[in-house]
Amino acid sequence: MSEKRIAVVTGANRGIGRAVAEELGRHGLHVVVVARRADAGAPVRAAIEAAGGSADLLLGDVGSISGARHLARDLLAACPRIDVLVHNAGLWPERHELNEDGLERAFAVNHVAPFVLNHLLEDRLVVSRTRVVQVSAGLYVKGRVDLERTPRGEDFHAIRTYATTKLCNLLVMPLFAERWRGRGPTIVAVHPGVIRTGLGDRGGLLGAALRLVKKTWKDPAAGARPVVRLALEHALAESGLYFHEETEAALAENASDRAVAGALWERTMLLAGLDAAPPLAHEERTSASP
d(CA 138, CA 245): 10
pLDDT for residue 157: 92
Percentage of residues in the chain having pLDDT higher than 70: 84
d(CA 117, CA 131): 14
Kindly report whether the global pTM for this prediction surpasses the value 0.85.
yes
Beta bridge partners of 98: 104
* Lowest pLDDT segment from 125-134, 152-161, 212-221, 266-275: 212-221
pLDDT averaged over the chain? 88
Please choose, from the candidates 202, 199, 175, 210, the residue with its C-alpha nearest in 3D space to the C-alpha of residue 189.
Answer: 175
pLDDT band at residue 209 under the 50/70/90 scheme: very low
pLDDT of 2 over the 70 cut: no
d(CA 222, CA 216): 13
pLDDT band at residue 290 under the 50/70/90 scheme: very low
219 or 228, which is more confident?
Answer: 228
**251-262 confidence digits (pLDDT tens):** 999 999 999 999
- Taking residues 36-41, report their average pLDDT: 96
d(CA 227, CA 52): 21
pLDDT band at residue 277 under the 50/70/90 scheme: very low
- What the chain holds in terms of domains, given with CATH numbers, is 6-288 (3.40.50.720)
pLDDT for residue 222: 82
pLDDT band at residue 283 under the 50/70/90 scheme: very low
Structural contact between residues 88 and 42, judged by C-beta atoms closer than 8 angstroms: no
- Taking residues 205-222, report their average pLDDT: 56
Sign of CA dihedral 197, 202, 203, 208: negative
pLDDT for residue 195: 54
d(CA 241, CA 133): 10
pLDDT for residue 230: 96
- Taking residues 76-97, report their average pLDDT: 95
Structural contact between residues 116 and 65, judged by C-beta atoms closer than 8 angstroms: yes
